Structure formats: structure tokens, C-alpha cells
Amino acid sequence: MIKLTKNQLKNLIISCDTKNPKYELNFIYIDKQNAVSTNSRCITVIEHNQNTEEMWLHISLAKTAIKDSKATHFIIESNNSIISFDKDNFHIMRYSIDMTDYTYSTMKFPDYNRIIPQSCTKSNIPFTDASQIQGILALDEVNVNPKYLPLINEGYISYNADDLPVMIQDSEKIITHVVMPIISDKFKELKDYLKKNK
């Protein structure tokens, strides 16, 4: 059983796939330390450290639960079972679906620790508003799809190059979001202009 805030669950939904033939990617995966989701273009890791058993939550349940406007936090209590609570810790609703234990036992989530950059040449660049993220990256010609950026209002950006994963963390470094940049000639026109006007 783990507790997640509404913002944490929203960030996991951003990274979770919906119709991936690799079935596991359509789930939020929970292990002893983290809740994780990925769609192969970005990954979100939320540290919970609640020493829980391995659990899986289907994206459809997460999306249904998050629609409750009164909900402020959620408890994932077991496989495919999530309970919403309001600000007064009042139990609002339980959402669940049944799957066989055999299905869970055969599911295997990717080794997400291999995706998270362990060191970056440009690390812990601060931002104080989510709207600043793309601008900061653009200064180094790093182009990312805004669709896959996290819902983090204050935190840090770390990266190595314009073709390598970008790591974005909240100020407490509980939420770690890694997004792959778009490799394109978006900045070529600007480069050419600057060269001509040196």
C-alpha cells in the first residue's frame, strides 16, 4: 500500500502508455521504493519509500481516479485498486478491476534505473516555474516535446547533450522525470543567422 498526492499521480499518468503491445507499459509499476511509469519517450519515477510489495495499477484506473475534483491524494492498496481521499482524509471512492494473479506474476517492468542519468555535465539548473523548462533547454539547443514535460513548478534540470536524456526533478527530488529530446534542425535557422551576423 502506498500514498500518492494528486500531482504525483498526474505525473505518472503523463509517462504511462495506453495501448502499448508491451502490456506492462500500460501500467504504473510500484516496487519497494518507487512508483514508475514509462511510454518509451519519457519516464517518471516517484520515490515513496513505503516498503510495499510489488503492485501494478492500470492506466485506465489512474485516469478515472484523477478526474475526481475533490480528491487530493490516493492510496494504491493492492494490484489494480486505488482509493481517493479529500483534503480532510475522507474516503471518497475506490476504483478497481480484477485480473488473475497469473497475469501479474508474468509481468516484468523494464529496468528503469538504467534509464536515469547517473551523472550530467550540466546538473541542477534551477527553475521556479514549469514554463521556464523549455526556455532553459533551448539555450543549449535541446528540443523536447512539451507533451512529455512533467507537472513540476519548481526544481532542477540536468542533461549532457542535445541528443541524450534530460532529467527534471522537483525541488525535493522526490519526483524524477526523464524525457528524450527531439533530434531535429529546429535551431539550424538560428545558428545560420548568428553566423552571418557575427
The domain spanning residue 10 has which CATH number? 3.10.150.10
Distance CA 35, CA 19 (A): 20
Q: For the chain, what is the domain count?
A: 2
Same domain, 24 and 70: yes
Domain boundary among 60, 81, 114: 114
Q: Give the mean model confidence (pLDDT) for residues 138-145.
A: 89
Can you tell me which residue has the cell 535557422? 189
Q: Determine the structural domain holding residue 59 and report its residue range.
A: 2-114
Largest separation between any pair of C-alpha atoms in the chain: 66
Same domain, 93 and 29: yes
Domain boundary among 114, 148, 173: 114
Same domain, 94 and 136: no
CA distances to 110, 183, 186 from 12, in Å: 15, 24, 28
The per-residue pLDDT for range 61-100, each reduced to its tens digit, is 999 999 999 999 999 998 999 999 999 989 889 999 887 6
pTM for the complete prediction? 0.88
